[in-house]
Amino acid sequence: MSIQGLILTYVVVLLAGLVGATVYTELRRRRFGPTPSEDRIFRCKRCGYVYTDDPDVERSRCSQCGKTNEAIEF
């Protein structure tokens, strides 16, 4: 085997290892990372309490003071 062949093999093996480590890290991050919630976020205009409710709710009652609030839009 020539010197060029050895260098090419070395570079290909290193790049394959790097790609494999990147794919493994990304799959692990997706598996153990937090999943986004479908709930809507509300902030009470009276007491400032931040809470969540079901995604199909347009207005929600604050559990602290009872005022009905609109969802926060980001």
Q: How confident is the model at residue 9 (pLDDT cuts 50, 70, 90)?
A: very high
- Residue 65 amino acid letter: C
Q: What is the pLDDT of residues 11-53, one digit of tens each?
A: 999 999 999 999 999 999 888 877 787 889 999 999 999 999 9
In a 3-state reduction of DSSP, which class is residue 27?
helix
State the Cα–Cα distance between residues 17 and 21, nearest whole angstrom.
Answer: 6
List the domain boundaries for the chain: 1-35, 40-70
Which ranges of 2-69 would DSSP assign to H, the alpha helix? Answer: 3-32
8 SS3 class: helix
| DSSP category for residue 50 | E
Phi/psi of residue 6, nearest 5 degrees: -65, -45
